A and B are shown apart, each in its own frame.
Chain A
Amino acid sequence: MRHAGWFGGAVVLTVASGEVISHIADSRDTNAGAAAGAAAAVSGALRFVQVSDSHIGFQGPANMDVAGSFNEAINQVNSLGFRPDFVMHSGDLTHLSTAGQFDQVKQMMTGMKTDRVFTVPGEHDSIGDAGRAYRRTFGMGTLGDGWYSFDTHGVHFIALVNTLSLEKLGHLGNAQIDFVRKDLAGLPSDTPVVVFSHIPLFAMYPKWGWSTDDALKVIALLRRFSSVTCLNGHVHQLFTKTEGNITFHSATTTAYPLPKPGRAPAPTPQVVPARQLKDALGIRSVGYRQGDRELAIKDQRLA
């Protein structure tokens, strides 16, 4: 009995009590709101959190206090009612890649009640030095230009770097693609795989750089796996796309909203009233129970 009904899975987006919730439709679980909670309720389940695009150091009318917003996001992580196995920050930790901004965001993240904090760099973390300052602060134990993989709770995680050597779009490069090839070789195809990157691996809106020019080489390596979840930041808004067994989820930001693709002349930080700013910011929790086919993804606005 292989994954018969699996290929027809559809992403369901619902809004329940002010929360935007997305998960994969599943015959056994028709209640979107229960998805993350159900996984969390079972001991031994994996629960992790994704935060993104904190832009520590940004100064502008779109958010006059990005450090304050990030602190609120950290408090929200600490108030989830469970201790996440890890927190992944999916890039643009800082706004200008300065040593002071890296120190500040690293210190702030030590306030998160979790066993481990992982990161991938954003293009704002790689300004002018091909990511060297980022790697000095966050790259301990990583390979190449900062990529790595790890396993926990039966899930294989890969953290990619697609913000160096940019030419219009995100770029992975052959060395990193070779790393993914070797990393996946020998992994059974029914292993759930989660891939983190800053810039989307799918073509969300190439005109604004919201795509990765050589991502298809990695996608080709992932196609044989029955469950692949790609989690990215960069676009500062929730967006989900499914391609066969691969689902892409763009996360929101803790700093400031960006326009929807094509709805503005450029991806300029959007100035909105204070109440609407909180609605645009948030965190994401992800639950996975061994034996399940899908991860349960729950996006929460900054309360």
Chain B
Amino acid sequence: MSTSSTGAAAAPVTGNAVAIKNFAFSPATLQVKAGTTVTWTNQDTDAHTVTSAASGGPLHSAALATHAAYSYTFTKPGTYAYICTIHPFMTATVEVTR
């Protein structure tokens, strides 16, 4: 079912920005160094959230209306999976390295 999104997630991208567009996080896999502040910007007409997939995870945005943004500074290395709680089929990951 989700071959296209799995395919998109295959290639990690470096940077510090994630676009929320067409009900997807882009890039689906973002690689950053510890200490980087990542900013998500909603470019859709519907609202989205940036929320850690596991309970207790650090990502917990409010509902982002169109053009709204959310930022988080990753201090610890690790793999951070997150979803949009309104559209939980939207999944993505931030990989934080030293």
Contact = CB atoms under 8 A, between A and B. Distances in A.
B47 A123 contact: no
Interface in A98-152: 123-124, 126-128
Contacts of B62: 127-128
Contacts, number: 68
Interface residues of B, number: 26
B86 A269 contact: no
B86 A268 contact: no
Interface stretch (A41-49, A66-74, A204-212, A284-292): A204-212
Interface string A30-54: 0000000000000000000000000
B49 A206 contact: no
Contacts of A127: 47, 49, 62-63, 85-86
Which size bracket describes the interface of A in this complex? 20 to 34
Contacts of B24: 266
Interface string B10-27: 000000000000111000
Contact of A267 (B1, B23, B49, B60): B23
Contacts of A208: 87, 89
26 contacts: A60-B66, A95-B47, A97-B63, A124-B86, A126-B85, A127-B47, A127-B49, A128-B60, A128-B61, A128-B85, A165-B55, A166-B85, A167-B83, A167-B88, A168-B88, A168-B91, A207-B2, A208-B89, A209-B87, A209-B88, A209-B89, A265-B22, A266-B23, A268-B23, A268-B44, A268-B46
**Majority-rule SS of B interface residues:** loop
B63 to A, nearest CB: 5
Interface string B56-74: 0000111101100000000
Contacts of A265: 22-23
Given A124-B47, A124-B86, A167-B53, 9 more contacts: A61-B45, A95-B47, A127-B49, A127-B85, A168-B88, A168-B89, A169-B89, A207-B2, A268-B45
Nearest to A210: B89
A60 B89 contact: no
A269 B46 contact: yes
A193 interface: no
A123 B23 contact: no
A62 B45 contact: yes
**Majority-rule SS of A interface residues:** loop
Nearest to B47: A96
Given A60-B66, A128-B49, A167-B53, A267 B87 contact: yes
B1 A206 contact: yes
A85 to B, nearest CB: 32
A266 B45 contact: no
A204 to B, nearest CB: 13
B50 to A, nearest CB: 11
Interface string A254-269: 0000000000011111
Contacts of A209: 87-89
B45 A60 contact: yes
A60 B88 contact: no
Contacts of A61: 45
A168 B60 CA distance: 17
B94 to A, nearest CB: 18
